[in-house]
Structure 1
Amino acid sequence: MAKRTRMTEMEAYAVKTRQSEPVGSRGKGTLLLERKASGAILAYYRERTPESDKRLSLGTLTKKPKADSDERSLDDLRSEALRVSNEVAAAGGLVKYLECQIEQKATAEAEKIAAAESLEVARIERQRLADIESSRGTLGDLFLDYIEDRRGKATPGVVKELERLFKANLKTPHPTIIQMKARDIRADHILMVLNPIWERGSKVQADRMRSFLVAAFNHGLTVESVVGRSNSKVYSLEINPAAMVKVEKVSAPVERALSDEELKQFWETVEGTEGVGPVMALLFKFVIATGGQRIKNIIETTWVDYDLDAGTVLLAHRKGRGGQTMSRPHLVPLTERAVELMKRVQEINGDHLWPWTTHGKQPFVITSPTHAVADWLTSKHAVIDGAQLPTFSPRDLRRTCTQLMQKHGVDDRLSDLLQAHGQTGVVSKHYRNNPEAALPEKRRAIDLFDRALAKVLGEANGAGNVLSISSRKKKIADPMS
């Protein structure tokens, strides 16, 4: 009877100690089964040479292998032994095969670690980029950052105007645009902001808004290099998109001045105009009574700036690039007419910090006088002899007073001194910076102006006198009184 070279399944599963069968042809090794004391039958690939006897575990023999275990059926073990046999032969023996397996395992483990490290590096880089992106400021951040930068440098009125423009022209109408990163803003986005302003007829405001946007982006281009900066936002700007947009210059008419008849009509009716509050009406009269002082400078005054007994008000002129840091004092003499107006304001707002306020929380915003004049122009009072008066602005009251002085022979030098025209330069800064030094000349100018105003208003005595020297607290010699 021929000797069998392979075990039957019955023999394999009934092995007592150990039993083997060849794998493939002679010299290809054997499949060895060995029963342990526990009863488990372990399978090995076995390589025997004159010099060695080596084994490689293949798993555990069982009729019903379990998934995710080392259990194998007899057919599976034979297939695995044949695969190993071929790879051992190719490697030049089991020892070298095992060495290759160790190297491959080490390489695979190294690749796995490298892949994990690469993923971690990628994760860290993604987080870094995300942190950078989150720290990049939006257009809204940039404009608000610019506003904060202007505090202490520009006047409070300018800062409030910036805040108003931000809310009216950016935050409310364009919530999507202000949430865009500032570096992603392009000229077409600026046009989306400015075109609606232009189209509603606010052409001067469109130009101002464009100027503020240019300034805000210029601020963003350099602010990241400022030492000690408190704001952590970065903008990564490379261009100023607002600078690429042009707004057609629309200058408000500069030749409008009220005639004597128009000025008298405005003076006599402004307090009775619906929509014009009592303090606002008195503000217009005070501007006129003081010879056409800049309405913005008057609005910014507090009660501390007024000395009604001495008949003066101290204005701070901040016109020009110097702004808050380059303000110039301008002491204005008050006529009896002006003092009486201020006493009326005092009865209304004497408990507030500012005379020129509605609720006492802040002075009038700079646009309020413009709206008030517009209300007067649409009222029944803006009609003389059946003809509608041509439009004018609060600033035109200053020009009206200038021309009134010219018509009544007031010297241009006195007129300029009273209205603080051309009071700049090195000489003014270093030698004529005492606000009281020019007061006698200013009193002469305001006295002449008030005489002219009295004639326009048709007053019987023809004058509203400047406070006499004897009634002032500050005894200032006035050779012209």
Structure 2
Amino acid sequence: MMLTSKQISSFKPKNNHYYKWDKTNERGMGRLGIHIIKSGTKVFKFRFFVNEKAVFIKIGTFPQVSLSIAREKAKLYSLMLDKGLDPKDEIEKQQRAKEEQQKAESQKATLKDLFDSHRDKKKAGEKRQADIDLEILEKEIYPYISPDTKAKDVTTEEIVCILRKIIDRGATTKSNKVRSILHAAFNYGLKHDNDPAKKSTVGKFDLSHNPVTAIPKQTEAEKVGNHFLEPEELFKLLYELEHRTHDLKMHQNARNIMRLCFYLGGQRPNEVCSIKWSDINHQEMTVTLPGKITKNKRDLVIALTKSSYNLLTKNQNTSQSEYVFPKTTDPSAPTPLNTISQAVGRYRERSGLRTFTARDFRRTFKTLTGHLGISKELRDRIQGHAMNDVSSKHYDRYDYLSEKREAMTLWCEYLDNGISKYKANAKQLIKHSN
């Protein structure tokens, strides 16, 4: 007779433990039973025979495990027997496989591993934004996704929610920045596990896709700027960076970097910050921005004039760093880009000039040198823009250094003369005011 839950509940403990078995007509397929122990505990067990010796598999305690669940497990074990398998051996194999899977899962690299490892890769390539980018991710991501989360378990939906919070606080451009850093980090993780050249100190990321790819960039926030400094604004800025010390709390390195952004042809602040003494060719009067710090990954040779050379080499005799503009708290590192951003902001607050950013330096050079009659092609070459026509990409190996030197001489003379006139006018105004 088949067991019922009511019957099992009615079974009473005796002086010795005993079994009650489910009656089935299937021979050799094992049998489900309930084991009533002297303490009154009732345990479901499955019994089968190996070489005429009874083997028991514990299923669970009644009523925590119901009769229907016990029968399902017993049926599974019977099917194993029917296939010639030992249920006990199979259970042990499944348990070992489960433990191995759990062990492998526990060794999967975390989100923190991904971010830190990607930072290390960028630092190895001398990407000076590496630490700043990591700080951005730690600030924007970790409050919502634990750093201990497995990288492979991060979902597109989670990232969308985080970016939406950034947009909702009015920082759409920042959301694009966070999206960009995240996308690069997960792309790195996708290739990490199968890179034969990588000696990894973290586990596998086991990523199957990049969860950021499907999230669109907020293109309306990335409008192309059109602001540039008018000549009088530029001359005022350059003059005051050199002479205004009473209320501009700005390190001399920051002042010189900002001035050199112009005197070197509208180069990016982060590229100027990263110049090393070894990049300067004193004999040829050039400075080379190596491809590892330029945006297009190509070396850029800049012709120096007397003014730009003097600015660049001003502290060479006293410097103990390989960098022309070392970080004040760590001479082994260059001046951080955010130092320049802060300096620009501080100057804006005190100068009364129209709002501008460091990004406008590049546009200012491009615009004002156009007025000086310097061709667009030469302006592009001075700023290191990629020349993508077939002739430039595949055939033209001329360095245009003499043409660039002529243009830079014209530009730096324009700056020097403009600053001199601004200085004379400023003195005249002071004289009249007194």
Q: What is the TM-score of this pair, normalised by structure 1?
A: 0.62
Are 1:298 and 2:272 matched, yes or no? yes
Deviations 1:181-225 (A, max 9, x none): 223222332134434544555432321221222233334345434
Quote the Cα distance in structure 2 between the aligned partners of 1:415 and 1:428.
15
Quote the Cα distance in structure 2 between the aligned partners of 1:202 and 1:139.
24
Q: Is the CA contact 2:327–2:334 (under 8 Å) kept in the aligned structure 1?
A: yes
Quote the Cα distance in structure 2 between the aligned partners of 1:150 and 1:426.
31
Deviation at 1:459, TM superposition (A): 4.5
Quote the Cα distance in structure 1 between the aligned partners of 2:195 and 2:151.
18
Correspondent of 2:248 among 274, 279, 284: 274
Quote the Cα distance in structure 2 between the aligned partners of 1:244 and 1:460.
53
**Residues 373 and 121 from structure 1, CA distance in 2 versus in 1: closer, same or farther, beyond 3 angstroms?**
same
The 5-angstrom pairing of residues 21-420 of structure 1 reads 107-111=52-56, 117-118=89-90, 120-150=92-122, 155-171=126-142, 173-174=143-144, 176-199=145-168, 201-227=170-196, 229-231=198-200, 233-249=203-219, 250-251=221-222, 253-271=224-242, 272=245, 274-308=248-282, 310-317=284-291, 327-346=297-316, 350-359=319-328, 360-379=331-350, 382-383=351-352, 389-420=353-384
Moved more, 389-398 or 419-428: 419-428
The 3-state SS of whatever aligns with 2:287 is strand
Deviation at 1:354, TM superposition (A): 0.4
Q: Is the CA contact 1:177–1:189 (under 8 Å) kept in the aligned structure 2?
A: no
Moved more, 203-212 or 118-127: 118-127
Q: What is the percentage of aligned positions where both structures have the same residue? A: 22
RMSD over aligned Cα, in angstroms? 3.5
Quote the Cα distance in structure 1 between the aligned partners of 2:390 and 2:349.
46
Deviation at 1:355, TM superposition (A): 0.9
Deviation at 1:122, TM superposition (A): 4.1
**Residues 316 and 201 from structure 1, CA distance in 2 versus in 1: closer, same or farther, beyond 3 angstroms?**
farther
Correspondent of 2:409 among 447, 450, 462: 447
Quote the Cα distance in structure 2 between the aligned partners of 1:104 and 1:188.
52
Quote the Cα distance in structure 1 between the aligned partners of 2:347 and 2:49.
94
Q: Which residue of 2 aligns with 1:457?
A: 419
Q: What is the TM-score of this pair, normalised by structure 2?
A: 0.68
Deviation at 1:443, TM superposition (A): 1.4
Quote the Cα distance in structure 1 between the aligned partners of 2:210 and 2:402.
50
Quote the Cα distance in structure 1 between the aligned partners of 2:313 and 2:289.
18
Deviation at 1:109, TM superposition (A): 3.5
**Residues 433 and 164 from structure 1, CA distance in 2 versus in 1: closer, same or farther, beyond 3 angstroms?**
farther
Quote the Cα distance in structure 1 between the aligned partners of 2:388 and 2:335.
27
Q: Is the CA contact 1:218–1:240 (under 8 Å) kept in the aligned structure 2?
A: yes
Quote the Cα distance in structure 1 between the aligned partners of 2:155 and 2:170.
24
The 3-state SS of whatever aligns with 1:188 is helix
Deviations 1:352-396 (A, max 9, x none): 1101222312112333322221111112xx21xxxxx32211121
Quote the Cα distance in structure 1 between the aligned partners of 2:123 and 2:392.
26
Q: Is the CA contact 1:297–1:316 (under 8 Å) kept in the aligned structure 2?
A: no
Quote the Cα distance in structure 2 between the aligned partners of 1:138 and 1:300.
32
Deviation at 1:111, TM superposition (A): 4.2
Deviation at 1:128, TM superposition (A): 0.9
1:458 counterpart letter in structure 2: S
Deviation at 1:158, TM superposition (A): 4.4
Q: Is the CA contact 2:123–2:130 (under 8 Å) kept in the aligned structure 1?
A: yes
Deviation at 1:130, TM superposition (A): 1.4
Quote the Cα distance in structure 2 between the aligned partners of 1:201 and 1:392.
20
Quote the Cα distance in structure 1 between the aligned partners of 2:130 and 2:304.
30
Quote the Cα distance in structure 1 between the aligned partners of 2:121 and 2:265.
35
Q: Is the CA contact 1:290–1:338 (under 8 Å) kept in the aligned structure 2?
A: yes
Deviations 1:255-284 (A, max 9, x none): 110011211221122353534211011111
Q: Is the CA contact 1:136–1:181 (under 8 Å) kept in the aligned structure 2?
A: yes
Q: Which residue of 2 aligns with 1:26?
A: none
Which has the larger Rg?
1
What count of residue pairs does the alignment treat as equivalent? 345
The 3-state SS of whatever aligns with 2:333 is coil
Q: Is the CA contact 1:287–1:295 (under 8 Å) kept in the aligned structure 2?
A: yes
Structure 1 stretches of 5 or more lacking a match? 1-66, 69-102, 384-388, 463-481
**Residues 168 and 458 from structure 1, CA distance in 2 versus in 1: closer, same or farther, beyond 3 angstroms?**
same
The 3-state SS of whatever aligns with 1:292 is coil
Q: Is the CA contact 1:410–1:449 (under 8 Å) kept in the aligned structure 2?
A: no
Quote the Cα distance in structure 2 between the aligned partners of 1:122 and 1:299.
59
Deviation at 1:432, TM superposition (A): 4.6
Quote the Cα distance in structure 1 between the aligned partners of 2:408 and 2:50.
102
Quote the Cα distance in structure 2 between the aligned partners of 1:228 and 1:282.
41
Quote the Cα distance in structure 2 between the aligned partners of 1:334 and 1:229.
40
**Residues 425 and 354 from structure 1, CA distance in 2 versus in 1: closer, same or farther, beyond 3 angstroms?**
farther
The 3-state SS of whatever aligns with 1:257 is coil
